[in-house]
Amino acid sequence: MEYAALERHLDALRGRAGVFICEADETARFSRDADEIFPAASVIKVPLVMALYADAARGAVDLEQCVGVGERVAGTGVLARLRDVHELTLRDYAMLTIMVSDNMATNRIIDRVGIEVVNAYLDRWGCPRTRLRRKMFDLDARAKGLDNVMTPRESAHLLAMLVRGELVDRATSDAVLELLAATMYDGKARRYLSGDVSTANKTGRLDGVRNDIAIIRVSRPVILAAFTRDLARESEGEVALGLAGWFAYREAGGTGPELPPEVA
């Protein structure tokens, strides 16, 4: 399959980009700076929730345990605006973390699982360059240079684990996939796809950063991990994500729609 349009856009991008497109067995179909480290933004919430569900599967945590909402922080999500909600189950926090990228829910899961435990899982899963280093909106930690980071290849590996049922077992993997399939934020990998295309994804965005990791299913699942940083214009990064999503869709067996002329 020819990736000329994607290559051209990445060459011209005013910023940095890393893209990895692969099969469920991680056979690469397209790779561009796939081992480079990028700011994870909210994509780091995927391995966090995977660690929570892995802990639950081995009996270390109870997903039905109720936990107080705790300190309110800004950013994406709904809990900061729900003044009469005082506690939720860990299962509900996981749902909010993925579906609406809720930062308060994310922080409660970090409190319960622990940063060190998440990173130990990442080592076990073969993702030594992916690191959770701080909570959401921990500005003091960020000022000290502590940032959450990922690489395209390792991010794709995490999704491939879920597709293959390797997060403990098939049921645990499917529980996380169900959350990813219900995400309500379009990270732009769907930019050039019709609304009926099946995807399970998680987005991330910061100033100068646009990220999306996704499983795109047509005749078979194909995995995409696209990260950007230092973008002069975030809209250019969103076009790059859309192009990567379109090519992943074609790899998965999709036959349309065609790319618009301005990016073809």
**28 is in which domain, residue-wise?**
4-251
Query: Is residue 201 a part of any domain in this protein?
Result: yes
How do the pLDDT tens digits run along the chain, 264 residues long? 789 999 999 999 999 999 999 999 999 999 999 999 999 999 999 999 999 999 999 999 999 999 999 888 877 789 988 989 999 999 999 999 999 999 999 999 999 999 999 999 999 999 999 999 999 988 788 778 889 999 999 999 999 999 999 999 999 999 999 999 999 877 689 999 988 899 999 999 999 999 999 999 999 999 999 999 999 999 999 999 999 999 999 999 999 778 877 787
Query: Is residue 257 a part of any domain in this protein?
Result: no
Query: Is residue 28 a part of any domain in this protein?
Result: yes
User: For 142-175, how does the pLDDT look when each residue is reduced to its tens digit (9 = 90+)?
Assistant: 778 889 999 999 999 999 999 999 999 999 999 9
Query: Is residue 193 a part of any domain in this protein?
Result: yes
Query: Is residue 175 a part of any domain in this protein?
Result: yes
Query: Is residue 260 a part of any domain in this protein?
Result: no
Query: Is residue 264 a part of any domain in this protein?
Result: no
Q: Which of 169, 164, 182, 175 is nearest to 63 (CA)?
A: 175
Query: Is residue 82 a part of any domain in this protein?
Result: yes
CATH, residue 66: 3.40.710.10
Q: How many distinct structural domains can be found in the chain?
A: 1
Number of C-alpha atoms within 13 angstroms, CB side, residue 12? 10
Pairing of the two strands 87-89 and 66-68: antiparallel
